[in-house]
C-alpha cells in the first residue's frame, strides 16, 4: 500500500483554499491508500520542472496539488496546493531529496539561492576546501568542516559550494534562510562554537537511534522515521479530518524531531527537559503525557502538574484538543491544589494562611522576641523563613544549621542558632492556630504520601519546575514510582530563566531525583521572533542561570524559527505619557488587522488602562485561575508579569522601570514578560 506524507506548510495554504478543494485532497489521499498506480491517480509530470520527480494532480478546476513521486519505494509526498499557474511556478526550479546522511526530506532551490547569495565556481570551492582541511586557515568556524562533514551536517551536495563561500556571520545568516532548516540548525551550532558531533546532538537531538538512510535521494520510504521538521504521515481517516479542519495548530501534529524524541523517550528513571522560553517544553510535555496515557492501563493514573494555576488551566484546555479521549486519563492540576487535595484527603483540617494571617503572626513573634529580633533586619528574618525554612520543610534546629542556603546572604552558625529560635516560635504559633503556609501544606502532603496514605501515580509530569522548592520536589518524587523501578516514572520540565516564585535554585538531585544522562535541552524557539528572543536574552546578561540540577544553562546555539522587527524601545517620562504611547501603538496595530485580544500590556498600570478605555479601545484583565477566552472576548489584555506567564500574544507592551535592572528578580520577570510576545514588542522605559 502506498503512503502519502503531507508537508507542514500545506496547513497554512489550506486556510485559503475552497472547501471543494479540501474535499478533493481528502479523496486523493484515500485513493493513494487504495491504489497508488500513477495511472489511477492521474498524476502528471510537470513540464519544465527541474526535478523529474515532480507530479501534479487536479484538485478542482483551477487547483493543482504538487506531489513528489519516489524513485524507489512507495512513499509519495504532498508538498503544495495552489491555483494552477502558481502551483506550477512554485515547483519549477525546486529539488526534492531525501538526504543521504540525515535521512530527512530537503526542499531547496539552487537558482533562488544563486540569485540571493553569490555561489563560487566548483573549482575554487574545492581549492578552498583543500586548504582549509589541511588546517592553514580557519578564518570562519564553518571552515573547519570539509565537504564530507558539510554533507554529514545535512547540507545537500548541490549547496555545499554556497556554504563553503561563507566568511562572515552576516553572509551565513543570509544563506541560512535558504538552507534546509535542520541543516541550518546544525550549522548555527557549529558557528556558535560547537563541534559537528555536538551540533548534531544538541540541535537535532540524536538520542540513541541513528537515522535510517535512504537508498537514494528519491527514496522516501524512511522519512516517517527521520528527524523531519515538517512532514507528517497521516494516520487514518480521523487524522486526515483533523488536518483538513479549520483550527488545526501546527504544534498538535508537527513536533520538532528533538521534541518528538523526548516525547517518546523510553527511560528507566526520571528525566528532565529544560530550555529557554518558547522552546516548546510545554508542548513536548503535553504530547508525552498523551503518549504515556495511551499506553497506561485504565486503573493507572497519570499526573501532570504545574506551579501556577493559570498554566494548568491552559494545559487542561489544550490537552482536550490534542487528545479528545486520552486526556481523560490525565489529571491536570497545579502544585498547591495538588498538595491541598492530598493533605485534606489524608485528614488535615487546618487553614491555609493568608498573607494577613502571616503578617499578624510575625508581628506577634517579633515583639515577643524583640531582643533576638533586634539582632537582624526584619525583612531578612521574614525572607529567610519564606525562602529557606518554609519551602525546604525545615522543622528542627539541626536541619536549619546544615541546610544549603544558595543565593542568600552569608550568616554564621551562631546567627543561625539565634534565628532558629524565631523560626521555631513562628512554627509553634502557626501550629497553635492550625494554620499552614502553602509550603507547609506541601510538607504535610509529602509526609502523607511517604507514609503511604495517598496512592502513587503511574507517571508524573511536571512543568515550571524552576519554581518548585525542595519540599515540592520531594512531594513529586514521592508521588512518582521512582523507587519501584518502573519505566518513565517522572518527567520534569522547566527553565531557570523564568524563576519567579522560588528564589533559590534547588537542584532536583537534592530531592533524590537523579536525572544524570536523562536530561536534554531544547533550543529552537517557536514562539518569539529571533529579534525579540535576543533582546529578552540580553535582559539577563551577566546573570547566572541554572539548569535545574546544579549546573548552568547553556544557551549556545539557541535560535528562533522566524525573524521579525526589532523590539521598539521608547523612553516616557510619566504614566500619562506611557498611556498616550500605548494608545497610538494599539491603534496602529488594530489598523494593521490585529485583534484586541492579540495585544497584551504588562504589568498593570492604571493610567495606561484608563487611556485605552478613554480612547474607546476595550480592555480585559487577565484573572487568576481562568483561561484567556481568546477571540470570543475582545479587549486588550493586561495583567501582572506573573499572571501572563504561560500565555502568549502577537504583540506585548512591557512597562519597564530602569530600576528593574538592579533587581535580579525583576530581570527574570521582564524576561518572562518580553518572551510572551510572538511578533512585536514595545518597551516603554520610565
Note the residues at the interface with ligand ATP (CB under 6 A).
250-251, 254-256, 259, 275, 277-283, 495, 498, 526-527, 646, 648, 675
Least separation in angstroms between CB 447 and ligand ATP? 31
> Under a CB-based contact definition with an 8 Å cutoff, are residues 32 and 105 in contact?
no
User: Does the annotation place 280 within a ligand binding site?
Assistant: yes
Strands 271-275 and 519-522: parallel
Residues in Cβ contact with 75 at an 8 Å cutoff, skipping those fewer than 6 apart:
2, 3, 4, 5, 220, 221, 223, 224
Residue whose grid cell is 528564589:
503
Give the total residue count for the chain. Answer: 686
User: Does the annotation place 282 within a ligand binding site?
Assistant: yes
Residue 259 vs 619, nearer CB to ligand ATP: 259
Residue 67 vs 273, nearer CB to ligand ATP: 273
Residue 488 vs 498, nearer CB to ligand ATP: 498
User: Does the annotation place 402 within a ligand binding site?
Assistant: no
Would you put residue 393 in left (φ > 0), alpha (ψ -120 to 50) or beta? left
Residue 172 vs 307, nearer CB to ligand ATP: 307
Helix (H, G, I), strand (E, B) or coil at 504: coil
Least separation in angstroms between CB 277 and ligand ATP? 3
Q: Which residues pair with 522 in a beta bridge?
A: 275
Least separation in angstroms between CB 559 and ligand ATP? 13
Residue 330 vs 582, nearer CB to ligand ATP: 330
Least separation in angstroms between CB 253 and ligand ATP? 8
Cis status of the peptide bond prior to 422, with omega within 30 of 0: no
Which pairs count as long-range contacts for 60-68, CB under 8 Å and 24+ apart, including other chains? Answer: 60/18, 60/20, 60/21, 60/24, 63/17, 63/21, 63/24, 63/87, 64/88, 65/25, 65/28, 66/90, 66/91, 67/4, 67/43, 68/96, 68/220
Helix (H, G, I), strand (E, B) or coil at 340: helix
User: Does the annotation place 278 within a ligand binding site?
Assistant: yes
Start-to-end Cα distance in the chain: 65
Least separation in angstroms between CB 646 and ligand ATP? 6
Least separation in angstroms between CB 279 and ligand ATP? 4
Helix spans in 165-207 (H): 169-176, 181-191, 196-204
Residue 263 vs 339, nearer CB to ligand ATP: 263
Residue 282 vs 596, nearer CB to ligand ATP: 282
Helix (H, G, I), strand (E, B) or coil at 684: strand
Q: Hey, how many other C-beta atoms are within 10 angstroms of the C-beta on 550?
A: 13
Q: Which residues pair with 460 in a beta bridge?
A: 303, 490
Instruction: Give the torsion sign (CA, 288, 291, 297, 299).
Output: positive
Least separation in angstroms between CB 681 and ligand ATP? 14
Longest Cα separation, the chain: 95
- C-alpha 317/C-alpha 386 separation (Å) is 33
Least separation in angstroms between CB 308 and ligand ATP? 10
Residue 446 vs 645, nearer CB to ligand ATP: 645
Residues in Cβ contact with 243 at an 8 Å cutoff, skipping those fewer than 6 apart:
6, 11, 14, 232, 234, 253
Least separation in angstroms between CB 257 and ligand ATP? 9
Least separation in angstroms between CB 478 and ligand ATP? 25
User: Does the annotation place 279 within a ligand binding site?
Assistant: yes
CA angle (257, 259, 260) in 5-degree steps: 60
- Centroid of chain to Cα 84: 38
Residue 76 vs 251, nearer CB to ligand ATP: 251
User: Does the annotation place 275 within a ligand binding site?
Assistant: yes
Residues in Cβ contact with 602 at an 8 Å cutoff, skipping those fewer than 6 apart:
638, 639, 640, 641, 643, 644, 652, 653, 654, 655, 673, 676
Residue whose grid cell is 479528545:
324
Residue 254 vs 420, nearer CB to ligand ATP: 254
Residue whose grid cell is 523564568:
498
Least separation in angstroms between CB 678 and ligand ATP? 7
Residue 147 vs 558, nearer CB to ligand ATP: 558
Q: Which residues are annotated as a binding site for ATP?
A: 275-282
Amino acid at each position: 500500500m502506498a503512503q502519502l506524507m503531507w508537508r507542514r506548510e500545506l496547513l497554512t495554504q489550506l486556510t485559503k483554499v475552497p472547501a471543494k478543494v479540501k474535499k478533493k485532497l481528502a479523496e486523493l489521499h484515500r485513493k493513494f491508500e487504495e491504489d497508488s498506480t500513477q495511472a489511477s491517480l492521474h498524476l502528471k509530470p510537470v513540464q519544465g520542472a527541474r526535478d523529474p520527480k515532480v507530479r501534479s494532480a487536479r484538485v478542482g478546476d483551477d487547483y493543482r496539488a504538487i506531489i513528489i513521486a519516489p524513485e524507489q519505494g512507495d512513499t509519495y509526498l504532498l508538498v503544495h496546493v495552489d491555483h494552477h499557474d502558481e502551483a506550477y511556478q512554485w515547483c519549477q526550479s525546486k529539488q526534492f531529496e531525501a538526504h543521504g546522511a540525515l535521512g530527512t526530506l530537503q526542499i531547496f532551490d539552487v537558482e533562488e539561492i544563486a540569485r540571493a547569495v553569490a555561489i563560487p565556481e566548483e573549482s575554487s570551492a574545492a581549492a578552498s576546501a583543500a586548504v582549509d582541511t589541511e588546517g592553514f586557515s580557519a578564518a570562519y568556524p564553518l571552515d573547519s568542516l570539509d565537504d564530507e562533514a558539510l554533507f554529514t551536517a545535512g547540507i545537500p551536495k548541490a549547496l555545499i559550494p554556497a556554504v563553503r563561500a561563507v566568511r562572515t556571520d552576516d553572509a551565513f545568516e543570509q544563506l541560512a534562510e535558504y538552507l534546509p532548516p535542520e541543516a541550518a540548525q546544525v550549522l548555527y551550532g557549529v558557528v556558535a562554537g560547537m563541534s559537528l558531533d555536538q551540533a548534531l546532538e544538541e540541535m537535532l537531538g540524536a538520542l540513541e537511534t541513528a537515522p535510517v538512510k535512504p537508498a537514494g535521494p528519491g527514496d522516501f520510504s524512511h522519512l516517517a522515521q527521520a528527524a523531519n521538521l515538517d512532514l507528517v504521515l497521516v494516520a487514518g481517516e480521523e487524522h486526515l479530518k483533523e488536518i483538513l479542519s479549520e483550527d488545526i495548530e501546527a504544534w498538535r501534529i508537527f513536533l520538532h524531531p528533538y521534541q518528538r524524541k523526548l516525547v517518546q523517550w523510553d527511560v528507566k528513571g526520571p528525566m528532565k527537559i529544560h530550555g529557554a522560553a518558547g522552546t516548546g517544553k510545554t508542548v513536548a510535555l503535553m504530547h508525552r503525557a498523551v503518549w504515556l496515557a495511551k499506553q497506561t492501563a485504565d486503573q493507572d493514573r497519570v499526573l501532570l502538574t504545574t506551579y501556577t494555576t493559570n498554566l494548568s488551566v491552559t494545559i487542561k484546555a489544550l490537552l482536550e484538543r490534542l487528545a479528545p479521549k486520552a486526556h481523560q486519563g490525565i489529571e491536570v492540576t497545579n502544585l498547591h491544589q495538588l498538595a491541598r487535595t492530598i493533605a485534606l484527603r489524608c485528614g488535615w483540617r487546618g487553614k491555609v494562611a493568608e498573607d494577613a494571617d502571616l503578617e499578624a503572626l510575625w508581628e506577634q513573634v517579633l515583639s515577643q522576641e524583640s531582643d533576638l529580633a533586634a539582632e537582624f533586619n526584619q525583612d531578612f528574618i521574614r525572607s529567610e523563613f519564606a525562602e529557606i525554612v518554609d519551602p525546604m520543610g525545615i522543622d528542627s534546629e539541626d536541619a536549619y544549621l546544615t541546610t544549603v542556603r544558595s543565593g542568600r546572604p552569608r550568616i554564621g552558625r551562631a546567627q543561625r542558632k539565634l534565628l532558629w529560635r524565631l523560626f521555631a516560635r513562628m512554627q509553634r504559633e502557626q501550629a497553635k492556630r492550625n494554620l499552614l503556609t502553602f509550603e507547609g501544606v506541601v510538607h504535610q502532603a509529602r509526609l502523607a504520601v511517604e507514609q503511604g496514605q495517598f496512592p502513587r501515580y503511574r507517571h508524573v509530569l511536571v512543568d515550571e519546575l524552576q519554581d518548585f522548592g525542595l519540599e515540592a520536589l520531594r512531594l513529586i518524587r514521592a508521588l512518582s514510582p521512582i523507587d519501584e523501578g518502573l519505566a518513565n516514572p517522572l518527567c520534569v520540565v522547566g527553565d531557570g530563566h523564568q524563576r519567579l516564585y522560588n528564589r533559590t535554585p534547588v537542584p532536583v538531585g537534592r530531592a533524590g531525583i537523579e536525572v544524570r544522562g536523562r536530561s536534554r535541552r531544547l533550543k529552537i524557539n517557536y514562539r518569539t521572533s529571533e529579534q525579540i528572543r535576543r533582546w529578552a536574552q540580553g535582559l539577563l546578561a551577566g546573570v547566572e542561570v541554572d539548569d535545574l540540577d546544579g549546573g548552568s544553562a547553556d544557551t549556545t546555539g539557541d535560535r528562533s524559527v522566524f525573524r521579525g522587527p526589532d523590539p521598539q524601545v521608547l523612553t516616557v517620562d510619566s504614566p500619562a505619557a506611557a498611556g498616550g504611547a500605548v494608545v497610538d501603538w494599539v491603534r496602529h496595530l488594530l489598523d494593521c488587522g490585529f485583534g484586541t485580544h492579540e495585544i497584551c500590556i504588562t504589568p498593570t498600570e492604571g493610567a495606561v488602562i484608563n487611556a485605552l478605555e478613554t480612547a474607546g479601545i476595550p480592555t480585559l484583565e487577565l484573572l487568576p485561575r481562568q483561561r484567556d477566552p481568546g477571540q470570543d472576548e475582545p479587549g486588550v489584555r493586561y495583567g501582572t508579569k506573573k499572571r501572563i506567564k504561560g500565555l502568549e500574544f502577537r504583540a506585548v507592551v512591557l512597562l519597564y522601570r530602569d530600576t528593574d535592572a538592579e533587581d535580579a528578580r525583576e530581570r527574570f520577570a521582564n524576561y518572562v514578560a518580553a518572551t510572551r510576545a510572538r511578533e512585536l514588542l514595545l518597551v516603554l522605559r520610565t
